[in-house]
Amino acid sequence: MKKYFKNIYQAFSSIFIGMSITFKHFFKKSVTIQYPEQRLQLPERERNRIFVNIDDCIGCDQCAKACPVSCIDIETIKAVPGDIVGKTGVTSQGKKKVLHVAKFTIDFAKCCFCGLCVYPCPTNCIYMTNVFEYSEYKRENLIYNFATITPQEAEALRQKLAEFQAEQARKKEEAAKTTSAPKQDSEPKPDSNPDVNKQDNQTS
C-alpha cells in the first residue's frame, strides 16, 4: 500500500516539475529566428563545404590519403619538359608544378566535414568554408569537380606524355646499343704466320 501511494506521489511530482519548466518559458523572450531572413553568426573556425583553389594544387594526393571516408578522387598527368602547368606553372607561394590535375572531385554526400584533408596540404589550397546550404535533389549533383582541364584536354596531355615516354625509351635503347657495340682495334694486327715473323727477325 505504501509503495502504491509512493508511485502516485512520484508521478504527480514529475508532472509538476515538467509543467513548471514549461510555464516558466511562457514568459521568456523567444529565441527563434526568422530563417532565412535572419541568420545566426557562425563560429570563426566552422567546418562546412570544402573549397579547392586548383591554381595552387600540385596534385600531391595528400588530402585524398588523409580522408577517412575516401570522398576525394584525384587524377594527375605528368608534365613533359616545356609544358606550363596551369596558368603560370607555379603556385602562389612560388612552388613549381610538375603535374597536371586532370580530375579533382569531392563527393559531399560522403564527406563528414572532419577537416583532416586541410592540414597535410603543402600549398594550403584546400580549406573549409562557411557555405552549408547546398542541398540537391540528385545524389550525383553533390560530386564537385574542381579541376579546370576538360576531358579532351586531359586525353591530349596523356597522348603527349605517351609520345614523350616512347621517344625517351627509343633514345635509351639506341644509347644502350651504342655502348654495347664491340670496339674496333685501331692497332695493326700481327701476321698470322709465326714462322714468317721469326724468319724476318733473324734476317734483320
- Convert the pLDDT of each residue in 147-168 to its tens digit: 999 999 999 999 999 999 999 9
Determine whether 94 is exposed, middle or buried from the number of CB atoms within 10 Å of its CB (0-12, 13-18, 19+): exposed
Q: Are 101 and 52 in contact (CB under 8 A)?
A: no
pLDDT value, residue 204: 45
Q: What is the mean pLDDT of residues 157-183?
A: 85
Question: In the predicted model, what is the mean pLDDT of residues 171-189?
Answer: 70
Q: Give domain status of residue 39, yes or no.
A: no
Q: Is residue 135 part of a domain?
A: yes
Which residues, at least 6 apart from 136, have a Cβ–Cβ distance to it below 8 Å?
142
Number of domain units in the chain: 1
Q: Are strands 99-107 and 50-52 parallel, antiparallel or unpaired?
A: unpaired
Q: Write out the residue range of the structural domain in which residue 92 sits.
A: 50-153
Does any domain span residue 204? no
Nearest residue to 119 via CA among 54, 67, 178: 67
Residue 68 lies in a domain: yes
Q: Which residues contact 121 (CB under 8 A, 6 or more apart)?
A: 60, 62, 63
Are 74 and 65 contacting, i.e. CB atoms less than 8 angstroms apart?
no
Cell of 154: 586531359
Mean pLDDT of the chain: 85
Mean pLDDT calculated for residue range 41-56: 89
User: What integer pLDDT is reported at residue 190 of this predicted model?
Assistant: 55
- Does the residue 132 lie in any domain? yes
Residue 71 in domain: yes
* 174: confidence class by pLDDT, cuts 50, 70, 90: confident
**Residues 88-147 pLDDT 10s:** 888 988 888 999 999 999 999 999 999 999 999 999 999 999 888 888 999 999 999 999
- Establish if 149 belongs to a structural domain: yes
Whole-number Cα distances in Å, 58 to 13, 89, 95, 102, 162: 66, 10, 9, 11, 21
Distance from CA of residue 32 to its chain's centroid? Answer: 41
Is residue 145 assigned to a domain?
yes
Q: Assign 196 a pLDDT band (cuts: 50, 70, 90).
A: very low
Does residue 34 register a pLDDT over 70?
Answer: yes
The one-letter code for the residue type at 182 is P
So what's the pLDDT on residue 66? Answer: 95
Is it the case that residue 31 has pLDDT exceeding 80?
A: no
Instruction: Report the CATH number at residue 80.
Output: 3.30.70.3270
Q: What is the pLDDT of residue 46?
A: 85
* 171-199 per-residue burial string, b: 16 or more CB within 10 A, e: under 16: eeeeeeeeeeeeeeeeeeeeeeeeeeeee
